[in-house]
Structure 1
């Protein structure tokens, strides 16, 4: 029991001080421990949850859509109207060749942002919280890639819509376009594991972007994205014809045109499988040791 006083010394009343109620572990156990633990999420459920997180990040930070809208549009307009007349005689003829190639280039280039997102979460400490969760370990990485697949789809839709306005007419119709975009998404999913690895390996997101640009620029420009390799010197054709981006661009171009380029599709799927088999385990090893 204590007496409260004002600054002038006048008593205001008394306050009763109560001793804390003693407790034991047995008394609080029913409150802290549920009668039935929730089930551990499956690999698919966990992957979809992290994929939805990536989608919500796009919703709350719409600036992330700039690279999948403005950049492809700028490339398509620039190459079609600046070089179309010189390379194919007219922009209308050139866009039939170049649009699938620029679509491939644009989607492949934005795969780098998977690694950037991973590196940003590591820098903010979010990754440490994810590692404490009881779930399938690769689901975190798969979630990043699933979320970015939405970005690739948006980029493809923007490019094809603009191409139709500019005069592009896919001979394969809706089925050919969907087949080409699906093949592009499969390859991009596998290709993104490279940048996921660098996102774990490098310290800053600028380093991830720098390494990605050093790899992507030669692969995309030394390919058949813009011109036919037969116009190149023989020593350069040897590299271009074995470039995975060349196989991908040829496969997408053929599918959208209504042909079935079986060899190019097989090469593209083989490259995608190789990238996934090599960089998937390396990425998970780095993640487990991070």
Structure 2
């Protein structure tokens, strides 16, 4: 045996990576943060993704206040405590639709095929962008409260009431994002995701107590609006921001958010894994 053969025989063999084992919880968390950072970079390069959270809150707040304020409450200033929480819920929930659209767009471009070929968590490509969307929700909330403040809205719940309402809205947007994430995993195109999402969100938003009291609705419509999850969220935001109180509506809103995550997060992961 030559010296070269001896050196080659004692060289350590390369480590064997067991691809059959899934990533650990720590790896999944790290990969989720990486995917969130990737989504933030995409947002920076495509600022048009902020239009729905940067323009819509201001536009809807001004438009709804001056168009409906006098007719519903008799005065714009009296309408603001009723309307601002509704605008907040509408803006955050509509912003959550972007999650499914972006997921479907990545699938159409083959990006998710590369992710699935890596030994990485199946949760990270879904939860990462949704974690980054928290920034978009926060921007929408700050702009809506700021616009309302300029127009004369003064939340009597104080800073803690406003922060509590903001936290609840972020949780609601994040939990509903799993619904649209599931839709994005099973839809055929980004355009179809957007269309289906609008068909879901607009009835839920407008057939609620977001902009008008449910007492003015017909009986059958009032019955639906009273059990509409959006109505619970809007009522909870009003209680927190306007009064600084934690009521039953806050608890029911959190229960609804937990139920959405429990049902649609697994469905989204299954749809993502099976999508082609």
Q: Settle same-fold status: TM greater than 0.5.
A: yes
Q: Structure 2: how far apart are the matches of 1:215 and 1:227?
A: 20
Shift in Å at residue 230 of structure 1?
1.1
Q: 1:103-129, CA deviations, whole angstroms, 9 ceiling, x for partnerless residues?
A: 100110111110000001001111011
Which residue in the other structure is 2:68 paired with?
83
Query: Which of the residues 216, 221, 236 maps onto 2:206?
Result: 221
Which residue in the other structure is 1:167 paired with?
152
Which residue in the other structure is 1:199 paired with?
184
Query: Which of the residues 152, 156, 163 maps onto 2:141?
Result: 156
Higher helix share: 2
Please, what TM-score do these two structures have when normalized by structure 1? 0.86
> Secondary structure of the equivalent of 2:227?
coil
Query: Which of the residues 215, 231, 234 maps onto 2:219?
Result: 234
Q: Does 1:147 align with 2:132?
A: yes
Q: Structure 2: how far apart are the matches of 1:257 and 1:83?
A: 20
Contact 2:175 2:261 in 1 (8 A): yes
Q: Structure 2: how far apart are the matches of 1:191 and 1:52?
A: 21
Query: Which of the residues 119, 140, 165 maps onto 1:180?
Result: 165
Change (3 A) 1:233 1:64: same
Q: Does 1:68 align with 2:53?
A: yes
Query: Which of the residues 98, 105, 114 maps onto 1:120?
Result: 105
**Which protein shows a greater Rg?**
1
Shift in Å at residue 136 of structure 1?
2.1
Q: Does 1:107 align with 2:103?
A: no
Shift in Å at residue 259 of structure 1?
3.6
Q: Structure 2: how far apart are the matches of 1:136 and 1:260?
A: 40
Contact 2:239 2:247 in 1 (8 A): no
Q: Which runs of 5+ in 2 are unaligned?
A: none
Count of residues paired in the alignment? 263
Q: Does 1:260 align with 2:245?
A: yes
Which residue in the other structure is 2:230 paired with?
245
Which residue in the other structure is 1:135 paired with?
120
- Structure 1 runs (4+) greater than 6 angstroms displaced: 34-37
Q: Structure 1: how far apart are the matches of 2:99 and 2:16?
A: 40
RMSD between aligned residues: 2.2
Q: Structure 1: how far apart are the matches of 2:240 and 2:16?
A: 56
Please, what TM-score do these two structures have when normalized by structure 2? 0.90
Q: Which runs of 5+ in 1 are unaligned?
A: 1-23
Q: Structure 1: how far apart are the matches of 2:14 and 2:147?
A: 57
